[in-house]
Chains A and B, each alone.
Chain A
Amino acid sequence: MTKTIVITSGKGGVGKTTTSASFAVGLATRGYKTAVVDFDIGLRNLDLIMGCERRVVYDFVNVIRKEANLNQALIRDKHIKELFILPASQTRDKDALTVEGVAEVLAELSKTFDYIVCDSPAGIERGAQLAMYFADSAIVVTNPEVSSVRDSDRMLGLLSSKTKRAEDGRDKITEHLLLTRYSPKRVARGDMLSLSDVNEILAIPLLGVIPESQAVLRASNSGDPVILDKDSDAGQAYLDAVARFLGENVSHRFIEEERNWLKRLLNFKKEVV
Chain B
Amino acid sequence: MKKEPCFQFKANFLPCAVLQILSDDWTHFDQQLTDAVRKAPSFFLNLPVVIDLDKISAVEQINFLHLKELLVAHQMVPLGVRGGSDAQHQLAEANSLSLLPGGKLSNFDKKQDKKEELILLTKLVTTPVRSGMQIYARDGDLIVTASVSAGAEVLADGNVHIYGPLRGRVLAGVTGNLQARIFCDALEAELVSIAGYYLTKDDCQKQALSPGMKQIYLENEHVRIEMIQPQRVPAEMV
- Point out residues on A near B: beta carbons under 8 Å: 124, 150-151, 153-154, 156-158, 160-161, 200-201, 203
Contacts and interface: CB of A to CB of B under 8 A. Distances in A.
B103 interface: no
A153 B127 contact: no
B147 A150 contact: no
A151 B151 CA distance: 10
Contact of A161 (B133, B149, B152): B133
Contacts of A157: 129-133, 149, 152
A168 to B, nearest CB: 17
A156 to B, nearest CB: 5
Given A156-B128, A203-B128, A150 B133 contact: no
Given A150-B150, A150-B151, A153-B151, A200 B131 contact: no
A203 B147 contact: yes
B165 interface: yes
Interface string B67-80: 00000000000000
Contacts of B150: 150, 153, 201
Nearest to B167: A201
A156 B130 contact: yes
Which of B128, B129, B131, B151 lies at the interface centre, i.e. has the most chain A CB atoms within 10 A of its CB?
Answer: B131
Contacts of B127: 160
Interface in B128-158: 128-133, 147, 149-152
A93 B163 CA distance: 43
Contact of B131 (A153, A160, A161, A203): A153
Contacts, number: 35
Contacts of A160: 127, 130
Interface of B: 127-133, 147, 149-152, 165, 167
Given A156-B128, A160-B127, A201 B133 contact: no
Nearest to A156: B130
Given A161-B133, A200-B165, A154 B128 contact: no
Interface centre among A153, A158, A200, A203, by most chain B C-beta atoms within 10 angstroms, is A153
A198 B167 CA distance: 14
Contacts of B152: 157
Nearest to B168: A153
Contacts of A154: 130-132, 151
Given A154-B130, A154-B132, A158-B132, 15 more contacts: A150-B131, A153-B130, A153-B132, A153-B149, A153-B150, A153-B151, A154-B151, A156-B128, A157-B129, A157-B131, A157-B132, A157-B149, A160-B130, A203-B128, A203-B147
A225 to B, nearest CB: 30
Contacts of B167: 201
A58 to B, nearest CB: 36
Contacts of A124: 132
A151 B150 CA distance: 10
A156 B131 CA distance: 8
A124 B133 CA distance: 13
Nearest to B149: A153
B120 to A, nearest CB: 23
13 contacts: A150-B131, A150-B151, A153-B132, A153-B149, A153-B151, A154-B151, A156-B128, A156-B130, A157-B133, A157-B149, A157-B152, A160-B130, A200-B165
A161 B164 CA distance: 20
Nearest to A146: B150
Nearest to B134: A157
Contacts of A153: 130-132, 149-151
